[in-house]
Amino acid sequence: MSDSCVLPAFDTSEAAAIAQRLFGLEGPLKLLNGERDLNFLIATPRGKFVFKIANALESPAMLECQHLVFQRLADAEVFPLVATALTSLNGRLIESVSDARGIEHCCRVLPFLHGRVMADIVDLKTAVLEDLGRRLALLDKALDGFTHAGLERPLLWNMEQALSVLENYKPLLTSDAQRALVEHFETGFREHVVPVQAQLRRAVIHNDANRGNVLVDEAGLKVTSIIDFGDMMNSWLVVEPAIAATYAMHGQADPLASAQTLLRGYHQTLPLTTTETSLMFDLMCMRLCMSVCICAHQQRLEPDNEYLSIDAEESWELLEVLRGVSYDDASAMMLAACDPK
């Protein structure tokens, strides 16, 4: 995974020609959102596919790792829908292409998974939040014992490096008030998470179950798939539900109740320790702080990529709300979500 947010330099016509030449796919292309990679939806007589051209700094090993994980999740029946890579006309899952400057990029094709994106649902129901927590727990259980060399790479979205991320990019925030807000939660992370981090279990996790990466059924009650495994890594297990709960709070009338519901679904399937659960509030707040700081960094590098700031305004609003919440009250809510009583 590259931390560069500069998208590959291919236009739609070039991408169409590559998809036809390497994968035999013909049909109209539609550019999809992407943080670091180019993604095109292709409608063909064979069905719909997503043609992906990876950032030039993306490791082929990480793409291979993702394909192995897809198969593992399919075998474990974690989701009703799982994307498995399409073989090219050359018999490969990953092909290499060069842009006009001779820079090489990996490319591949995944089936387009039909479903509603959770980000399009304004009022998230208890059922879908619990199901998301449960599905993430099943995902993490399915990946128990999994390892791959592709996972060993630097990643901005690594919670274990959160303090370094803030140190590097906090100066890019636009006001002293924003920096003070981030520093408020930074203090809590230093006081509560850092001293016990050695006690936290480690696992291979998806690491980015944001609302744009979660597909649900038409009723908005069940999760049908989770997409975009580009941020997958070996990290603290509790980070998995913490990240999902962070984004589940966005735009909700009672943010912490939404987080509590998701955590309950996770814990019922893959129980967390008391220490892990007690850190949920700090981890959720830190994810928001990382998000706004990384956004400031990426916007400076790629000011025309609107996708990079899609959650920034809501993240700032949520941070303001959470600053007014007692740490003890928030921790008690998270612990209560995992109380069998």
| Position 56 confidence tier, pLDDT thresholds 50, 70, 90 | confident
- Is the pLDDT reported for residue 13 higher than 50? yes
Query: pLDDT (tens digit, 9 = 90+) per residue, 232-267?
Result: 999 999 999 999 999 999 999 999 999 999 999 999
Task: Establish how many alpha carbons lie within 13 A of residue 222's alpha carbon, considering only the half-sphere containing its beta carbon.
Answer: 7
pTM: 0.92
Residues of the chain within CATH 3.90.1200.10 domain(s) are 117-337
What pLDDT, on a 0 to 100 scale, did the predictor assign at position 33? 80
What pLDDT, on a 0 to 100 scale, did the predictor assign at position 5? 53
DSSP code, position 303: T
Query: pLDDT (tens digit, 9 = 90+) per residue, 142-201?
Result: 999 999 999 998 899 999 999 999 999 999 999 999 999 999 999 999 999 999 999 999
Instruction: Say which CATH topology domain 117-337 has.
Output: Aminoglycoside 3'-phosphotransferase; Chain: A, domain 2 (3.90.1200)
Residues of the chain within CATH 3.30.200.20 domain(s) are 12-114
- Is the pLDDT reported for residue 19 higher than 60? yes
- Under 8 Å between Cβ of 196 and 275: yes
Which CATH class for the 12-114 domain? alpha beta
Query: pLDDT (tens digit, 9 = 90+) per residue, 262-321?
Result: 999 999 999 999 999 999 999 999 999 999 999 999 888 876 666 556 678 899 999 999
Q: How far apart are CA 37 and CA 35, in angstroms?
A: 6
